[in-house]
């Protein structure tokens, strides 16, 4: 029989304001096994912990129940307290009467009753607890970064600089991500390529970094410190080792109908192409959907003209299996498609463009060589209307409810750059709010208005239509002047909402990393653990966690790297002793647990079984405790109940449910 | 059928003489011609061996015990198409020693439910013989001929496949009859349309007939645990289930959950139930759900995980439409 001590925490007024803590302590005193019960203002304080320690000694306690906050907050604290006082740390149970009780209830009587029931369940469980000992598992000193944009590159560089091996997996043929497509960056207006490409080169040349471009993560197994990842390296049809990047093939390709993704489809490219001049690796890739050789079997001009015989039409996807200690997600963002926003005429008028297209139109390496011209007739626009919040902060269900965060600043940038280069161009910006919280951000926006004379109009655009003479008529409302207005424009630029990259959802499922409804990855704690996923060993870098500009992305990338370094610096991780075990007397060896185990922790062995009446050799399950993560999937898959989870046995769970359901007569 | 039975006997003799098998798991004639039962024929003695319209019993489950000892040599087991599904499951779940078994797939044209014949008013049957699809019933009150197809077992009415799985040899299987045209999910769909309380009432009234004879469990090829949770005092399951008069209900519901995703829909549970509880409908509902949620191809849908799997919220979503 256990001797159990119950410790009810007030958490200041957090719990005590809604739960009658004295009554909880009093009621739990009469639960089976309970020999001591007390309440205290802050159980996690040193005094509170000393109260627990002395009670353990004075009353010879064998187990304790702390009724307090979520076990995520202080379970570790109280386990340490218990072990300092001489009892096994796994003889501690937490009854969460704060997050799951006091914080969500208003009525003291019901909250108190619920707290008592939660405490009762914890007592019932401790009665069946047994001491457990932690094991150890090794850490693979290698990190995987998924996504090769600025976030992924920065995280990889920081980890690599600390001396650990890092692999970057990028699904596109080159690293660089969205930042490579940008022209200038706010608020300093330095050229994006000028600050990004040195980092790309550094990543490519770093002795600790391996790049897997045009590659995708196919499968993730394992757990923190020991992930097994399968990477699919898609066939480029160009041998990376032989190719010198001379570009001969790309200029000889007769198929020119491909849309240049890097320039947002504003110009064409060959079927064999290098995404952009500073691409890394500087190795072309063949678009098989476009390539004449792949479609008809005839052509092969690129292969014939390649001086280093690098073009290889028979190349196949390759699979790379690698082990990692940590995984960083840096999958970045994309912009939404605009089919829900027909009122802006994006699909009808060539001169209605997205901001990302506008970046390319302004860029010296863009389709117009940096000369701002409108796509329809290549004339320089004299009046440009920018529309902000196209799909952002949209509660109608057509777009995204969140603020995309970056649009206010880049629109100010676009407006400013246009006025700087072409002072005779009139620039209008329709906005709901201008949000400029950031270092030197508001100053930047004010410069656009005050110094560059950009016309900011508070209001939304209702319609964009053609006046039949080559002009776009933009009808909107000016809420400050309280009037409707129509602007005759040559070009309209839409600040389309951002969204999580499409690959994120699939990856999130693979990593069992939680995501929000917008497919942004969730952080372990919104304030205190912003770069960690709740899934141990998975870290978040950049836009994949939520909208971010470049400075924030880089800062977060560094933070994620620091967390990874902290993990990889450890030689061993303490492993959870709450792992599965199989009862060989009951096990039928059916293999269901093996099939359901996500970690491959279960094998089978012919074992001598002797239950007193039957003696035989049987095939029974054996759990590899170092690999088992205690998820419990096997315990529910096992039809005979032979699989049990230490620390969470079926009996303990039954006991908890029983305690909760027990009629109290009240 | 008699012709087939004779041919099978010849085949058995041949296999025995070749030393391929030492025993035979088959059906033995009963007293009245409609009560054949599973039997192990040893030493080449095939007296009273039969394979007739009443050999509905699936023999695969006996293989757990019969294949255990390596010293006993190989046992021949006769399997109809639907019997092989359970046999395959037992093999997959390592419950039988496959190397000690010679599985012979035999033809099936549907098996007859004697209860249905009796219910139709035929009394005092003393002997039954078959002529193609006609059953000649000798009774104390004279002879009567009936069409076998009118009295098939429920499981045969929804016969869905003539595919043999995991057999060592197929014997005369081209003589198999056709599969049924009846949709096996039709009855489930009818139940799905009921309201929650109607469903509850339906199952309550069915399950309260249960006398806990455990026949369904003992015949089920998916219920093959070394120790059933209901027999294991230490598991606490039995004690929980019989906390009130809901025990029989819980027994069947827990059993359905335990075989969920593994049930091969052989229909044996309902065939053997002395109280005629349509137990197969519980299992078939799960099969239908699994098919709808995870597709036809996923054999171990509940034990495997793919990124395309339905999110658990689907249960809630579906539940909303069916209050």
Predicted-complex ipTM score: 0.84
Closest CA to A246 of A206, A282, A212, A222: A282
Q: Is residue B288 part of a domain?
A: yes
Residues in chain B: 323
Residues 6+ apart with CB under 8 A from A286: A236, A237, A238, A271, A272, A294, A302, A311, A313
A618–B237: do the CB atoms touch at under 8 Å?
no
Respond yes or no on whether the N-terminal peptide bond of residue A149 is cis (omega within 30° of 0). no
B137 contacts B53 by C-beta, under 8 angstroms: no
| Cβ pair A586:B240 closer than 8 A | no
Asked if B217 and B247 sit in the same domain, the reply is yes
- The phi, psi pair for A413, rounded to 5°, reads -65, -50
B27 assigned to some structural domain: yes
Model confidence pTM above 0.90: no
Considering A134, A153, A180, which residue would you say is the last residue of a domain? A134
The domain tally of chain B equals 2
pLDDT of residue B323: 45
Which member of A590, A596, A639 has the closest CB to residue B94?
A: A590
pLDDT band at A365 (very low <50, low <70, confident <90, very high): very high
Query: Is the model's pLDDT at A174 over the cut of 80?
Result: yes
Spatial contact of B130 and A625, defined as CB atoms under 8 Å apart: no
- Are A559 and A584 in the same domain? no
Running DSSP on this structure, what letter comes out for residue B179?
A: P
State what percent of residues in chain A have pLDDT above 90: 88
CB-defined contacts A:B, below 8 A: 61
Mean pLDDT of A479-494: 96
Q: Which two tokens stand for residue B174?
A: 């081209």
Q: Residue A98 sits in a domain of what CATH number?
A: 3.40.50
Does A666 score more than 50 pLDDT?
no
In a domain, B17, yes or no: yes
In terms of phi and psi (left: phi > 0; alpha: psi -120 to 50; beta: otherwise), the region of B110 is: left
B170 and B250 inside one domain: no
Q: For residue B239, which residues of chain A lie inside 8 Å, CB to CB? A: none
A575 in a domain, yes or no? no
| Domain final residue, candidates A102, A134, A166 | A134
Rounded to 5 degrees, φ, ψ at A515 are -135, 160
Is residue B107 within 8 A of residue B4, CB to CB? The reply is yes
The domain of A602 spans 580-645
Mean of pLDDT values over B167-180: 87
Report which of residues B173 and B217 the model is more confident about: B217
Residue tagged 């990393």 (tokens) = A513
Cβ–Cβ below 8 Å for B235 and A641:
yes
* Residues B96 and B33 grouped into a single domain: yes
Same domain assignment for residues B52 and B93: yes
Residues A230 and A355 in one domain: no
Q: Is B148 helix (H, G, I), strand (E, B) or coil?
A: helix
* Co-location of A275 and A347 in the same domain: no
Per-residue model confidence (pLDDT) at position B183: 85
CA distances from A629 to A134, A267, A352, A577 (A): 12, 51, 53, 9
Tell me whether residue A240 is in a domain: no
Are A165 and A218 members of one domain?
A: yes
What integer pLDDT is reported at residue B40 of this predicted model? 95
Name the residue facing A598 among B92, B94, B305 (closest C-beta).
Answer: B305
pLDDT bucket at A246, cuts 50 / 70 / 90: very high
Same domain? A347 vs A484: yes
Is residue B133 assigned to a domain? no
pLDDT at A82: 97
Q: Enumerate residues 6+ apart whose C-beta is below 8 A from A197.
A: A176, A180, A278
Give tens-digit pLDDT for B218-249. Answer: 999 999 999 998 888 888 777 777 766 677 78
How far apart are alpha carbons A546 and A531 in whole angstroms?
11
Residue of B316 and A446 predicted with greater confidence:
A446
Q: Give the residue among B271, B224, B217, B223 at the shortest CA–CA distance from B248.
A: B217
Tell me the average pLDDT of chain A: 94
| Percent of chain B residues topping a pLDDT of 70 | 95
| Mutate: best of A588, A615, A656, partner B, most B CBs <10 A | A588
Does one domain contain both B90 and B9?
Answer: yes
Residue B319 or B95, more confident: B95
For the record, the structure tokens of A154 come out as 């920065």
- Which residues fall within 8 angstroms of residue B11, CB to CB, at 6 or more apart? B104, B171
Return d(Cα B122, Cα B139) in angstroms, integer: 8
| Mean pLDDT of the region A400-421 | 96
Domain boundary among A461, A484, A499: A499
- The verdict on B96 and B209 lying in the same domain is no
**Whether residues A179 and A258 fall in one domain:** no
What does the alpha-carbon distance between residue A590 and residue B15 come to, in Å, rounded to a whole number? 31
Asked if A352 and A488 sit in the same domain, the reply is yes
Out of A237-241, A583-587, B159-163, least confident range: B159-163
A42 pLDDT more than 90? yes
CATH number of the domain enclosing A624: 3.30.70.3270
Q: Which residues contact A467 (CB under 8 A, 6 or more apart)?
A: A473, A488
Question: What Å distances lie between residue A432 and A13, A418, A435, A459, CA to CA?
Answer: 41, 21, 9, 6
Residue span of the structural domain in which B101 resides: 2-112+159-175
Between β-strands B23-28 and B49-50, what pairing exists: parallel, antiparallel or unpaired?
A: antiparallel
Cα angle A55, A59, A64; round to 5 = 60
Same domain, yes or no: B170 and B222: no
Residue to mutate among A604, A639, A663, with most B CBs inside 10 A, is A639
| Shared domain check, B14 and B108 | yes
* Judgement on whether residues A350 and A450 belong to the same structural domain of the protein: yes
Distant-in-sequence, close-in-space partners of A583: CB < 8 Å, separation ≥ 6: A641, A642, A643, A644
Cβ under 8 Å to A: B residues 195-254: 223-229, 232, 235-237, 240
């Amino acid at each position: 029989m256990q001797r159990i001590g119950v410790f009810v925490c007030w958490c200041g007024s957090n719990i005590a304001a809604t739960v009658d803590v004295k009554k909880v302590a009093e009621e739990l005193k009469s639960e089976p096994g309970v020999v001591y019960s007390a309440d205290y203002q802050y159980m996690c304080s040193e005094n509170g912990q000393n109260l627990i320690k002395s009670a353990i000694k004075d009353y010879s306690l064998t187990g304790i129940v702390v009724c307090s906050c979520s076990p995520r907050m202080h379970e570790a604290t109280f386990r340490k307290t218990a072990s300092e006082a001489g009892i096994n740390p796994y003889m501690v149970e937490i009854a969460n009467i704060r997050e799951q009780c006091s914080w969500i209830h208003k009525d003291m009587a019901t909250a108190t009753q619920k707290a008592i029931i939660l405490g009762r369940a914890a007592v019932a469980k401790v009665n069946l607890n047994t001491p457990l000992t932690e094991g150890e598992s090794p850490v693979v000193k290698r990190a995987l970064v998924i996504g090769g944009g600025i976030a992924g590159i920065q995280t990889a560089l920081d980890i690599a600089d600390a001396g650990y091996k890092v692999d970057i997996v990028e699904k596109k043929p080159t690293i660089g991500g969205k930042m490579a497509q940008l022209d200038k960056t706010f608020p300093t207006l330095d050229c994006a390529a000028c600050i990004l490409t040195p980092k790309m080169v550094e990543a490519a040349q770093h002795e600790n970094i391996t790049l897997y471009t045009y590659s995708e993560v196919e499968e993730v197994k394992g757990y923190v410190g020991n992930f097994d990842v399968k990477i699919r390296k898609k066939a480029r049809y160009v041998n990376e080792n032989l190719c010198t990047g001379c570009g001969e093939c790309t200029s000889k390709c007769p198929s020119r109908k491909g849309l240049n993704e890097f320039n947002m489809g504003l110009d064409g490219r060959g079927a064999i192409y290098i995404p952009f001049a500073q691409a890394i690796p500087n190795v072309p890739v063949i678009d098989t959907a476009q390539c004449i050789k792949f479609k008809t079997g005839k052509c092969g001009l690129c292969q014939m003209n390649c001086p280093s015989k690098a073009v290889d039409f028979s190349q196949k996807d390759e699979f790379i299996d690698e082990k990692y200690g940590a995984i960083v997600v840096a999958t970045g963002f994309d912009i939404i498609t605009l089919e829900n926003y027909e009122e802006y005429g994006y699909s009808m008028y060539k001169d209605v463009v997205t901001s990302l297209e506008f970046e390319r139109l302004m860029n010296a390496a863009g389709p117009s060589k940096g000369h701002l011209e409108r796509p329809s007739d290549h004339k320089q626009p004299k009046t440009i209307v920018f529309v902000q919040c196209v799909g952002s902060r949209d509660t109608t269900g057509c777009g995204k409810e969140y603020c995309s965060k970056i649009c206010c600043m880049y629109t100010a940038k676009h407006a400013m750059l246009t006025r700087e280069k072409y002072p005779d161009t009139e620039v209008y910006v329709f906005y709901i709010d201008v949000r400029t919280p950031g270092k030197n951000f508001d100053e930047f926006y004010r410069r656009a208005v005050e110094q560059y004379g950009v016309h900011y109009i508070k209001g939304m655009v209702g319609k964009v239509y053609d006046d039949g003479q080559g002009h776009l008529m933009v009808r909107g409302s000016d809420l400050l002047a309280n009037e409707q207005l129509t602007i005759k424009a040559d070009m309209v630029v839409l600040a389309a909402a951002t969204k999580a990259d499409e690959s994120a959802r699939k990856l999130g499922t693979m990593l069992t990393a939680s995501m929000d409804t917008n497919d942004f990855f969730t952080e372990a704690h919104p304030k205190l653990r912003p770069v960690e996923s709740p899934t141990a060993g998975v870290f978040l870098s950049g836009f994949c966690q939520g909208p971010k500009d470049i400075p924030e992305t880089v800062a977060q990338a560094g933070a994620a790297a620091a967390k990874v370094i902290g993990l990889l610096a450890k030689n061993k991780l303490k492993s959870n002793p709450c792992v599965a075990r199989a009862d060989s007397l009951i096990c039928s060896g059916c293999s269901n647990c093996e099939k359901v185990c996500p970690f491959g922790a279960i094998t089978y062995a012919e074992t001598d079984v002797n239950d007193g009446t039957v003696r035989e050799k049987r095939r029974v399950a054996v759990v590899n405790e170092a690999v088992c993560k205690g998820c419990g999937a096997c315990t529910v898959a096992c039809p005979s109940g032979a699989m049990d989870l230490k620390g969470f046995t079926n009996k303990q769970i039954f006991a908890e449910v029983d305690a909760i359901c027990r009629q109290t007569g009240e | 059928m008699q012709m087939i039975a004779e041919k099978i006997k010849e085949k058995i003799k041949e296999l025995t003489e070749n030393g391929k098998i030492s025993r035979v798991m088959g059906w033995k004639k009963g007293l009245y011609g409609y009560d054949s039962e599973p039997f192990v024929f040893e030493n080449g003695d095939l007296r009273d061996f039969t394979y007739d319209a009443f050999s509905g019993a699936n023999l695969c489950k006996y293989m757990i015990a019969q294949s255990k000892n390596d010293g006993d040599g190989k046992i021949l087991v006769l399997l109809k198409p639907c019997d092989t599904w359970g046999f395959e499951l037992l093999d997959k779940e390592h419950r039988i020693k496959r190397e000690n078994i010679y599985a012979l797939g035999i033809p099936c044209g549907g098996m007859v439910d004697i209860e249905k014949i009796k219910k139709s008013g035929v009394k005092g049957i003393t002997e039954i013989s078959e002529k193609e699809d006609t059953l000649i019933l000798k009774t104390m009150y004279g002879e009567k001929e009936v069409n076998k197809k009118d009295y098939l077992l429920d499981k045969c009415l929804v016969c869905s496949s003539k595919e043999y799985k995991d057999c060592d040899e197929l014997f005369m299987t081209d003589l198999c009859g056709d599969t049924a045209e009846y949709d096996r999910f039709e009855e489930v769909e009818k139940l799905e349309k009921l309201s929650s309380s109607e469903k509850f009432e339906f199952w309550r009234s069915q399950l309260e007939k249960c006398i806990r004879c455990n026949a369904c469990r003992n015949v089920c090829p998916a219920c093959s645990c070394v120790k059933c949770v209901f027999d294991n005092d230490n598991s606490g399951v039995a004690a929980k289930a019989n906390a009130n008069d809901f025990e029989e209900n819980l027994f069947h519901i827990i059993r359905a959950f335990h075989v969920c995703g593994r049930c091969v829909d052989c229909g044996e549970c309902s065939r053997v139930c002395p109280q005629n509880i349509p137990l197969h409908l519980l299992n078939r509902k799960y099969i239908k759900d699994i098919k709808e949620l995870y597709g036809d191809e996923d054999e171990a849908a509940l034990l495997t995980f793919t990124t395309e799997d339905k999110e658990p919220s689907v249960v809630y979503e579906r539940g909303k439409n069916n209050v």
